[in-house]
A and B are shown apart, each in its own frame.
Chain A
């Protein structure tokens, strides 16, 4: 071992203070406080998403000039935990469109559409509006109006840092791909586990055509 390596090794032997009860108590207090803060924020985010979803539905009705009202998307309850993970992610082999590319989809699901602002994956036969995100996986860039740090439990999306949270009816994963802040939202009714949401996100590629929304 060289002299430099010896000296580096000795750095690891430097004395450090023993861990007192006060230190442990401080670490626990900070951790629990942060957990509480995040839960409060998640609650607020859930309310915001619910409000956005309601506004989005209204917009769909307003934009659609059909004389008959648009039926709301069928409510599909989230499956119990033991029912989750029965859906497998499989390789996506269909058509791709610039903006967002995907490598995997839940088995039996289809690509509903891609715009510069979002990509939707849903069940076959879902003819709801592309901006209706219920019962779908949606990929988009974080709104330009969002300036704060991402929140949620820290996770790893491949080699990238991500944050996973329960956003009230959906699991929302935010991660930074080096250039964009990407959001993947999976509606609870799909039955995907958190790991599957992350696995799906690992197969997402954002192209130059993608644009972040505002608001």
Chain B
């Protein structure tokens, strides 16, 4: 999916400029702009988050919601610098990496019940094998691969989102693709499709 305004998801969502009034709350000047951004770019963020989380739709939605809150709080500054889109992307990637850091220990627990998982919109279209292979990549490497090859971002845009050098993006992406190819060549040894399965 392309990252810019021409991406197919964005084109299909028909942004409307009618501000939504939250009951009992006075509208702030930035609200209408924020709403338009949500309508226009939320699908893109959700798609990115689903790839980052290797198909965990619940977690992806949580990350997107949290990122949009952070974006709203920094709206004036991000807009002034002309980098609303980039800021949203950075907060999403940071939220994903931070989530992985914070919640690894808490997530690693035995349970007798299968956790509830959100069903994908079109189950048959999901490349489960690829998602399982993605789940085996460390978070930053996975993010580099997703931003470069799922979102079609440039090396520079990916470096900006990850807060690292372009050289680092290139090396992380190359290593990530190599690991994916290796995993996809060995279907019998694939990790489970659980997006939380990697220990990185």
Chain A residues close to B by CB (< 8 Å): 2, 4-5, 7-19, 21, 23-32, 34-35, 38, 153-156, 159, 161, 194
Contacts and interface: CB of A to CB of B under 8 A. Distances in A.
Interface in B1-22: 1-2, 8-9, 12-13, 20, 22
A187 B136 CA distance: 48
A98 to B, nearest CB: 28
B152 A12 contact: yes
A11 to B, nearest CB: 5
B94 A161 contact: yes
Contacts of A159: 163-164
Main secondary structure on chain B at its contact with chain A? helix
Contacts of B39: 19, 24
A30 B65 contact: yes
Contact of A30 (B13, B69, B125, B150): B69
A27 B184 CA distance: 37
Contacts of B22: 25, 28-29, 32
Given A27-B38, A27-B69, A38-B73, 13 more contacts: A4-B180, A7-B127, A8-B130, A11-B130, A12-B47, A12-B151, A14-B122, A16-B50, A24-B39, A28-B35, A31-B34, A153-B77, A161-B94
B25 interface: yes
* Max chain B Cβ within 10 angstroms of own Cβ: one of A7, A13, A21, A27: A27
Contact of A19 (B13, B28, B69, B90): B13
Contacts of A155: 74, 77
